[in-house]
Structure 1
Amino acid sequence: MQGMYVLIIKRFAGHSKWANIRHIKAQKDVERSRIFTKLGTQMKVAIQEGGSSDPINNIKLAHVVEQAKRVNMPVATIQNIIKSTQKDKDQSKTYLIGVKGPGKSIILCEAFTSSLPSLKIQMATILKKNNGKFLDGNFSHLFIQKGVIDIEITSSGGTHEEILENATDDALECEADDVEIVEETNCLRFLCDPNHLDKVQKSLATKGYKIRSASIEYLPQKLVELTDSEIDQCSILLEKLENMENIVKVYDNIC
């Protein structure tokens, strides 16, 4: 009986482990699906703004396609998105929507929708429940558009000080505006004029840098500090906005 008891415990332990594995895999699949959906929307935006469904003739689309490949989006999926966008008669447009979040936080939402009023009604429900409200007036001066290139830092590159010193020299040669080390993701981040993103990216690649991502983003002109409570509130608000179907990207000014 004692042996049977041990066997039963082991079976249940194994079942629990498998359940956890399945749960983790399901979470990863959901996250993967969310990333693919966002990239698909970004491709549609790039095609509309760039006027071409050919990445060779549309630099913005080329950058999004490259990002999609880096996260292992199937080539067939990328091609289907591009083809469907060509045939799509949807009158969606890109909008920038400003949000005042908890504390002094400002959130900039890049949206792609055929009905801005409908989208704002959906957003209003989220904002009301999460201590947020729409910004009135012109808020574009609070953010600046930049080309952002993230580079993987290798262990053989030396100390962070040495890596940054070398990268600063390379930034000047490649016509980047600035470079910094992002501790959270352990990468070098080069900033440049959005119109020069493709040129700077190629120049860095020829110098042997392994590019993790390259995109055009809105960066805050000034960062603000929040209390722990405000950070928790803002984290929830940002997540809910990011998960909205018609929100392409979300930016904030939190340091």
Structure 2
Amino acid sequence: MAGHSKWANIKHKKAATDAKRGKVWTRLIKEITVGARMGGADIATNPRLRLAVDKAADANMPKENVTRAIQRGSGSLEGASYEEIRYEGYGINGAAIIVDCMTDNRVRTVAEVRHAFSKFGGNMGTEGSVAFLFQHCGQLLFAPGTDEDALMEAALDAGAEDVLTDEEGGIEVLCPPFEFASVKDALEKAGFKAEVAEIVMKPSTEIVFTGDDAVKMQKLLDALENLDDVQEVYTNAVIDGE
């Protein structure tokens, strides 16, 4: 099944993420800490923690940083107590935005998120105002040139729900969130290593932005992503930089 071309967007996001490695580590430490607090310190029985630890390994985070974060989350080390908060809102031309945060100060976080929305042409919505436009799912993205037929067979055998190919040949495998770890493991055993593998809020429809609107929308997304308390930003906007 064909999907909207997204490979350039994915590569851009990955490069931007790599360029902000220190910030990425900070976010992963929060995720590991909260994952351990909610589900325990054993990655074998805690899929959320395992995903965060895998991401930390991909980001070249030192193992001692990971261990300390797990210890803080499980209570064997003192540390800040984070809570998860989701904000929803609208960007340029009404594009939907979800902002997932982890914070030790809810008042500070909501003020910063609201300020970013208002400064760059968006506005915050109420809870549930845009979430219905997204699907919570596991997403694994494979580079153009991957053997589509073999990947599709392996993915469907592993429990994936859908396999999508874009115009550039990139392949996207989707699965239920609770089956993400087993699907990822099965695909790796079959020889398929994803460029990006995570549990996401995937938009059911997309809005393509070009020209000035694309520039404005990107500024808003960058402002939100650069906030210290923000873990992830999801949107149905596709920035066309061509």
If the TM-score is normalised by the length of the shorter chain, which range does it land in?
Answer: 0.7 to 0.9
Question: What is the aligned-residue RMSD (CA, Å)?
Answer: 2.4
Residue 126 of structure 1 pairs with residue 116 of structure 2? yes
C-alpha distance in structure 2 between counterparts of 1:72 and 1:92, whole Å:
23
Cα shift readout 1:27-58 (whole Å, capped 9, x = no counterpart): 99962211211211221232233x21221221
In the other structure, the counterpart of 1:11 is none
Cα shift readout 1:212-233 (whole Å, capped 9, x = no counterpart): 4432111112111234212111
Structure 1's 128 and 45: CA in aligned 2 closer, same or farther, altered over 3 A?
same
In the other structure, the counterpart of 2:233 is 250
Identity of aligned residues (%): 22
Relative to the length of structure 1, the TM-score reads 0.77
Partner-residue secondary structure (3-state), 1:73: coil
Partner-residue secondary structure (3-state), 2:128: coil
Q: Which amino acid aligns with 1:48?
A: R
Structure 1's 212 and 45: CA in aligned 2 closer, same or farther, altered over 3 A?
farther
Cα offset for 1:95? 1.6
In the other structure, the counterpart of 1:15 is none
Structure 1 or 2: larger helix share?
1
Cα offset for 1:188? 3.1
Alignment check: 8 A CA contact 2:141 2:173 kept: yes
Question: Unpaired runs of 5+ in structure 2?
Answer: 1-15
In the other structure, the counterpart of 2:26 is 37
In the other structure, the counterpart of 1:234 is 217
C-alpha distance in structure 2 between counterparts of 1:165 and 1:54, whole Å:
36
Cα offset for 1:96? 1.4
Residue 195 of structure 1 pairs with residue 204 of structure 2? no
Partner-residue secondary structure (3-state), 2:197: strand
Residue 105 of structure 1 pairs with residue 89 of structure 2? no
C-alpha distance in structure 2 between counterparts of 1:143 and 1:128, whole Å:
23
C-alpha distance in structure 2 between counterparts of 1:144 and 1:76, whole Å:
35
Q: Which amino acid aligns with 2:37?
A: Q
C-alpha distance in structure 2 between counterparts of 1:91 and 1:80, whole Å:
14
Partner-residue secondary structure (3-state), 1:131: coil
Cα offset for 1:201? 1.1
Relative to the length of structure 2, the TM-score reads 0.81
C-alpha distance in structure 1 between counterparts of 2:19 and 2:201, whole Å:
26
Cα shift readout 1:158-201 (whole Å, capped 9, x = no counterpart): xxxxx2233222222111011234678x7532110001111111
Structure-to-structure mapping, 1:86-235, within 5 angstroms:
86=75, 87-88=77-78, 90-139=80-129, 140-152=131-143, 157=146, 163-181=147-165, 187-235=170-218
Alignment check: 8 A CA contact 1:176 1:200 kept: yes
Cα offset for 1:74? 1.1
Structure 1's 84 and 30: CA in aligned 2 closer, same or farther, altered over 3 A?
farther
Structure 1's 66 and 182: CA in aligned 2 closer, same or farther, altered over 3 A?
farther
C-alpha distance in structure 2 between counterparts of 1:148 and 1:99, whole Å:
23
Partner-residue secondary structure (3-state), 2:86: strand
Alignment check: 8 A CA contact 1:147 1:214 kept: yes
Cα shift readout 1:128-182 (whole Å, capped 9, x = no counterpart): 21001101352321111001123355x5x5xxxxx22332222221110112346
Cα shift readout 1:96-154 (whole Å, capped 9, x = no counterpart): 1102111131110111123333211112222221001101352321111001123355x
Counterpart of 1:56 (choices 44, 49, 74) is 44
In the other structure, the counterpart of 1:66 is 54
